Amino acid sequence: MSRTGSTSTLPSDPPRRWQAWFVPFVLIALTGLLLADPWPHVSPVGPAAVVPASATDMTPVRRPILKPETVVAGMTYRCSECHNLFPSPVETDRPLTQHRAIVLEHGINARCFNCHNRENRDAFADDRGGPIPFDQPPLLCAKCHGPVYRDWAHGVHGRTNGYWNPKLGPMERRKCVECHDPHNPAFKPMRPAPGPNTLRMGDRRSEAEGRSETKNPLLIYRQRLPGGDGDEAKPQRHRR
Ligand code: HEC
Ligand code: HEC
Ligand code: HEC
Ligand code: HEC
């Protein structure tokens, strides 16, 4: 075939009628199908866990008195107002008629005068019976809890509120009695903040279907929580 003098024409079959309709029809049908959304998306991740306000609250669990005062029959008295009137016996192992609300649960530390000063009731007692001011209870705890006191003084035990930068404001070490009741010091269990809901937690859909055979420790823990997870953990069905 010679190229000169001849204008080559591409073979062009005119499209048949049904072909011209086919493509737009399929596209419109697909649009309808997508709009109808017959297979809604089910997210394998649960909804974001809501962190309760209590988990970020910085208020200490106790509000200590820090003053040698107590309320008797609605009136506030200084300890010495009564205790200067009568001497205390050497031991405190009798059932008391006063201060009945105080029940000592401090293990083998079961003696009032291990902490309270026998001669001066407006103070605590140091190892020699001398006074420790009422507003410095950590010094009292330090008598017997040396290692914890040392940790606390270095900021390892307990908590620091306020500012790291002293130019902005004061740094506040929380005192022992703001977390521990001196008469019943074991720290009460707290409900932990909820764990995250991420893909790493695995496909949560199996749980909803009752096939919750999981080795994931976070999930096992959640399932055991009293009144725990429940609805909040179920995977969410939501439409796009
Ligand atoms: C581990 C040390 C310790 C022991 C033991 C102890 N206390 Fe206390 N007590 C304290 C501290 C610390 C405070 C101050 C608490 C505060 O500031 O919130 C206090 C406060 C008090 C108060 C005033 C506050 C209130 O609740 O009315 C009374 C009364 C009292 N103690 C009585 C007793 C009696 C009675 C005993 C013996 C049965 C006893 N304590 C044993 C450390 C101790
Ligand atoms: C309204 C008077 C009153 C006030 C105020 C008072 N006490 Fe007492 N307290 C008593 C009496 C009375 C007893 C002895 C009770 C008994 O023998 O049954 C007692 C007993 C105690 C005891 C047991 C040892 C002992 O002396 O027999 C401790 C410890 C004690 N008080 C600490 C305190 C502290 C700390 C305060 C101040 C925060 C305080 N009390 C304030 C009346 C008072
Ligand atoms: C006279 C010594 C003495 C003083 C003072 C003392 N403790 Fe204790 N504390 C003990 C002993 C002993 C135990 C262990 C009790 C047991 O298990 O039998 C203990 C246990 C504890 C525990 C662990 C409780 C538990 O069951 O988990 C805490 C928390 C504690 N003390 C806090 C304090 C605080 C806070 C103070 C200061 C207000 C304080 N202690 C003052 C002797 C003392
Ligand atoms: C901000 C709160 C906070 C402060 C402040 C605090 N503690 Fe604790 N303490 C805790 C918690 C929480 C635990 C752990 C309880 C548990 O594991 O069950 C604990 C545990 C303890 C224990 C028992 C376990 C151990 O490590 O021996 C002792 C004793 C104790 N604290 C003493 C003190 C003393 C003494 C101070 C002050 C010098 C103090 N704490 C200050 C919160 C606090």
- Sorted by where each begins, the domain ranges of the chain are 69-178, 198-233
Of 9-13, 65-69, 205-209, give the range with the top mean pLDDT.
Answer: 65-69
Instruction: Indicate the pLDDT class of residue 42, thresholds 50, 70 and 90.
Output: confident
| Range with the poorest average pLDDT among 7-11, 36-40, 66-70, 139-143 | 7-11
Q: What is the pLDDT of residue 43?
A: 79
Q: What is the pLDDT of residue 79?
A: 96
54 has a pLDDT exceeding 70: yes
Evaluate whether 138 touches 217 at the Cβ level (below 8 Å). Answer: no
With the most atoms of ligand 4 within 8 angstroms of its CB, the residue from 179, 181, 184 to mutate is 179
Rg (CA), the chain: 37
Q: What is the pLDDT of residue 19?
A: 78
Instruction: Indicate the pLDDT class of residue 240, thresholds 50, 70 and 90.
Output: very low
- Report the separation in Å between the CA atom of 120 and the middle of ligand 3, taken as the mean of its atom positions: 22
Ligand 1 atom with the smallest distance to the CA of 111 is: 5
For residue 236, the one-letter residue type is Q
Is the full-model pTM beyond 0.85?
A: no
The two structure tokens encoding residue 93:
């192992």
Ligand 4 atom with the smallest distance to the CA of 151 is: 38
Q: Which of 161, 157, 225 is nearest to 193 (CA)?
A: 225
Check if 114 has its Cβ closer than 6 Å to any atom of ligand 3: yes
∠ CA 161-116-84 to the nearest 5 degrees? Answer: 125
Share of the chain above pLDDT 90, in %: 50
What does each C-alpha distance from 166 to 89, 152, 171, 189 come to in angstroms? 47, 19, 7, 33
| Range with the poorest average pLDDT among 12-16, 72-76, 140-144 | 12-16
With the most atoms of ligand 2 within 8 angstroms of its CB, the residue from 67, 72, 82, 111 to mutate is 82
